[in-house]
Amino acid sequence: MKVLVVGGGGREHALCWRLARSPQLTRLYCAPGNPGTAGCATNVALAADDLTGLADFAAREAIDLTVVGPEVPLCEGLQAVFAARGLLVFGPSPAGARLEGSKVFAKQIMAQCGLRTAPFAVCERLAEATAYIGAHPGARVVKADGLAAGKGVVVAADAAQACRAARDFLEGEVLGPAGRRIVIEERLRGEEVSVLALCDGERVLTLPSCQDHKAVLDGDEGPNTGGMGAYSPAPVLGPELQRRVEEEILLPVVRGLAAQGTPYRGVLYAGLMIVAGEPYVLEFNCRFGDPETQPLMLRCSADLLPYLYGAARGELPRQPLQWDDRAALCVVLTAAGYPGPYRKGQPITGLEQAEALADVAVFHGGTAHDADGRLVTAGGRVLGVTALGEDVAAAQQRAYAAVRAIAWEGLHYRRDIGHRAVGRR
């Protein structure tokens, strides 16, 4: 089977790393890929949002399955472009991708399906937004409706900050069209957890739980990022609670979309807040998470390809996926200044020593080769150092041992990834 993975970050490297081990695979491509994916796939110089170029390549190379990593091409309609040419995609249709592409649509689906979520209001004018914030003391989360590259959510400390965020989105044009409609919701307090599932339009296959770390600094301080690390499984979500998430959240959404004529095929990612033992939905994403995919792929001990292929065809295999009983933890290494302006082109050393350690994999998120052939930094989130261990504490210890082998000027990382799970122990 010929497979094309779309994207060029750590998530796509992890997917390629796992898919390359499938006995059913004959050729694996990644567009655009990175120096890490080049070790297990053939990189293709096509941008992830070049929908026509990607479809032309898939048709020319007779690609059997295209696996889409980022949300942007899915929300822009990649699945529909491919389907029009008889090409199979693991990823939802544009209508299904609205779960991530529109915060308003997602909240409406939550309400229609009777899911637990924070009380909310949809606003298009500043006057109604400020009035709602003034009348609801708990309304402290302001979300832009559209995709905003991680900059579309403000968790405000007080009403004044919430009102400023509403003004910036609705009238300040800081996000352009993405902010012309907003969701204002009550701030929930509890512990966050991520649950991903493979969906075939009718059924779901829930993957092990994950917990990621968004804030850039230790202790969950500082601005939010695309993710500074993640681990799996997350102890906050025990087997019984995970069963309830599948039955009370994932399946109702898939069935609700099917009833609307929108069968959802791909990954359904539920970002949850556990409040007094009850799961509340914070958001839905329409793709694999990054960095959650890195520990998940390290723990996956089955052939993943038939499951992605089956889901895309509406025929998920009946047998469960097999997973390593051990925990996995990923530490993201970033360029200095991230998530603000950062420098590129810093030479990276120590990668070979880190990768030589047992049960360690290093996934490339933002790397490149310079004119001299040296591996250098090329993004904000540069590497995802991921390790297995008997429990989260052991995986944490092994991952940080590998991290200490790697260096470049200005390297930054959090030193407490997995702290909630280790604290529970």
47 backbone dihedrals φ, ψ, rounded to 5°: -70, 150
Q: Report the domain count for the chain.
A: 4
Domain annotation covers residue 47: yes
**Residue 109 is assigned to a structural domain of this protein:** no
Q: Which of 263, 281, 312 is the last residue of a domain?
A: 312
Residue 151 predicted with pLDDT over 90 = no
In a domain, 318, yes or no: no
Last residue of a domain, one of 74, 91, 108: 91
Same-domain status, 162 and 237 = no
Confidence of residue 146 (pLDDT cuts 50, 70, 90): very high
- Per DSSP bridges, beta strands 139-144 and 120-123 are unpaired
Residue 102 is assigned to a structural domain of this protein: no
146 and 195 inside one domain: no
| 341 in any annotated domain | yes
Q: How many CB atoms lie within 10 A of CB 86?
A: 7
Are 176 and 197 in the same domain? no
Reported confidence tier of residue 173, pLDDT bands at 50, 70, 90: confident
Region label for 208, one of left (φ > 0), alpha (ψ between -120 and 50) or beta (otherwise): beta
Contact 308, 355 (CB under 8 A): no
- Is the domain of 172 the same as that of 199? no
* H or E element that contains 397: helix 392-403
Give the CATH number, domain containing residue 372.
3.90.600.10
For residue 198, the domain's CATH number is 3.30.470.20
Q: What CATH number is attached to the domain comprising 166?
A: 3.30.1490.20
162 with 241, same domain: the answer is no
Query: Is residue 337's pLDDT more than 80?
Result: yes
DSSP state of 209: P
What pLDDT band is residue 425 in, cutting at 50, 70 and 90? Answer: low
Residue in 348, 386, 341 with CA at minimum distance from that of residue 367: 348
Residue 359 clears pLDDT 90, i.e. is over it: yes
Does residue 91 contact residue 78 with C-beta atoms inside 8 Å? yes
The model's pTM is: 0.96
Which is nearest to 114 in space by CA: 12, 251, 240, 288? Answer: 251
Q: 198 with 269, same domain?
A: yes
Q: Are 241 and 277 within one domain?
A: yes
What does the alpha-carbon distance between residue 391 and residue 351 come to, in Å, rounded to a whole number?
24
Q: Is 337 a member of any domain? A: yes
Residues 335, 411, single domain; the answer is yes
Neighbours of 57 (CB within 10 A): 18
Alpha-carbon span 410 to 408, nearest angstrom: 6
| Residue that finishes a domain, picked among 180, 203, 219 | 180
pLDDT score recorded for residue 148: 87
Whether residue 83 is predicted with pLDDT greater than 70 in this model: the reply is yes
Average pLDDT, integer, range 92-98: 97
In which domain, by residue range, is 360 found? 327-424
CATH number where 81 lies: 3.40.50.20
CA 88 to each of CA 30, 85, 261, 295, 398: distance values in angstroms, whole numbers, following the listed order: 16, 9, 19, 27, 39
Q: Given pLDDT bands bounded at 50, 70 and 90, which one contains residue 20? A: very high
Given pLDDT bands bounded at 50, 70 and 90, which one contains residue 24?
very high
CA distance 100 to 79: 15
CA distances to 104, 127, 215 from 108, in Å: 6, 22, 28
pLDDT of residue 386: 98
Looking at residue 302, its pLDDT comes to 95
pLDDT over 90 percentage in the chain: 96
251-300: pLDDT as tens digits? 999 999 999 999 999 999 999 999 999 999 999 999 999 999 999 999 99
The span from the CA of 294 to the CA of 272, in Å, is 19
Taking only the tens place, the pLDDT of each residue in 180-221 is: 999 999 999 999 999 999 999 999 999 999 999 999 999 999
Position 128 scores a pLDDT of 97
65-68 and 2-7 beta bridge pairing: parallel
Do 135 and 169 lie in one domain? The reply is yes
pLDDT at 172: 84
Claim to verify: residue 80 and residue 162 sit in the same structural domain = no
Of 88, 63, 91, the closest CA to residue 77 belongs to: 91
Same domain, 367 and 394: yes
Q: How far is CA 344 from CA 36, 123, 419, in A?
A: 17, 39, 30
For the chain, the average pLDDT equals 96
Give per-residue pLDDT as tens, 39-76.
999 999 999 999 999 999 999 999 999 999 999 999 99
Count of alpha carbons within 13 angstroms of residue 24, beta-carbon side:
14
Asked if residue 364 is part of any domain, the answer here is yes
Q: Indicate whether 330 pLDDT > 70.
A: yes
Residue 110 lies in a domain: no
- Statement to judge: residues 300 and 366 lie in one domain: no
Bridging pattern class, strands 27-32 and 2-7? parallel
